Amino acid sequence: MRVLSGIQPTGQIHIGNYLGAIKQWLLLQEKNECFFFIADLHSLTIPYQPENLQKNILETAIVYLAAGINPEKSIFFVQSDIKEHTELCWLLNTVAPIGDLERMTQYKEKSRQFKKNINAGLLVYPVLQAADILLYKTEGVPVGKDQVQHIELARTIARKFNQRFGKTFVEPKAVLAKMGAKIMSLNNPKQKMSKSLESQSYISLFEEPGEIKRKVMSAVTDTGKQIKYNPGKKPGISNLLIIYSLFSEKPIKEVEKIFKGKGYAQFKKSLAELLINSLEPFRKKRKELLSREVYVRETLKLGAKRARAIAESTMHDVRQKIGLA
Ligand code: ADP
Ligand code: TRP
């Protein structure tokens, strides 16, 4: 299967991004043809500092590599290095239904969040995402639940294009984690864990042990004492149980058994320890990569070269189909 996914170079990567998206990428890269990239063009749609962008891109690249993306197995690159993404985005804009774009949850949320900057880029954001996906004839797109709507739209766009201009694109499918596709925020378990919320709501993949402990211990839990999975009635404890289960690789039922008759504090203490130990290798790898900037840059350059060859070939076909060549 051909697999592709991306992450924007905005903010800290957290355990939600890891459990919902990156962990799947690591599994998929073993047996599939994978493309992973840094979606820097997408990140321009929300307020940002131009002087920090290059630093953030490099930092995100280090995150990917520290998390386990293997550039020998996967094609790993920066979106803006491949001009074909923007070119295809424009062409797809001419088939994307505007009503669908206006219905996208992320567009509505971001317009609310950044009232002073509702730019056209926010609206066509999913068209650029469709271009990212279709350019490489991607079949599977491993993402968290919040992105499923965008992948469905990429399918619609592919279908419409194929109908109008002849079979050109593959219709992609979202690949979701069985558990962990929506990790909730620590201080508000009714909201998804997100890097655009305050740092109290998430645990970064590289969080220092002291901070992990502090954040887990102060995570919002529910009334009652029992450690029982019940997302409707006990969203806080259920979220922590999912996190515990995924990092310990033990089914939730077993985790419930371990903590039967024990209090929230004991469970949280144990979860903090589990997280400190599980995240230790990421912290180590990141520190090592921070001093290997040249290697990271060279890796991205090589990845772009490999991606470009495929992107150019697709665009050659697209230009002909559409009547531009
Ligand atoms: P954020 O919403 O934190 O800014 P991104 O939008 O950059 O994160 O998402 C990067 C990837 O991580 C996407 O595939 C997204 O679906 C996934 N993801 C984001 N938040 C979560 C979460 N809370 N639980 C599971 N997956 C998530
Ligand atoms: N929109 C995605 C997010 O916010 C990032 C992204 C951009 C992406 N292009 C993509 C994900 C293509 C999967 C495939 O998380």
Distance 4 CA to ligand 2 centre (A): 9
pLDDT in tens, the chain (325 residues): 999 999 999 888 999 999 999 999 999 999 999 999 999 999 999 999 999 999 999 999 999 999 999 999 999 999 999 999 999 999 999 999 999 999 999 999 999 999 999 999 999 999 999 999 999 999 999 998 999 999 999 999 999 999 999 999 999 999 998 888 899 999 999 999 988 788 899 999 999 999 999 999 999 998 888 999 999 999 999 999 999 999 999 999 999 999 999 999 999 999 999 999 999 999 999 999 999 999 999 999 999 999 999 999 999 999 999 999 9
On whether the CB atoms of residues 166 and 48 are closer than 8 A, the answer is: no
Distance 295 CA to ligand 2 centre (A): 25
Give 120-124's long-range contacts (Cβ < 8 A, gap of 24+).
121/44, 121/45, 122/45, 122/46, 123/98, 124/89, 124/93, 124/96
On whether the CB atoms of residues 66 and 286 are closer than 8 A, the answer is: yes
Q: Which domains does the chain have, with CATH numbers?
A: 2-181+293-322 (3.40.50.620), 206-287 (1.10.240.10)
Say if ligand 1 is within 6 A of residue 126 CB. no
144 is in an annotated binding site: yes
166 is in an annotated binding site: no
Residues acting as catalytic residues: 110, 192, 195
Say if ligand 1 is within 6 A of residue 250 CB. no
Say if ligand 1 is within 6 A of residue 150 CB. no
Say if ligand 2 is within 6 A of residue 143 CB. yes
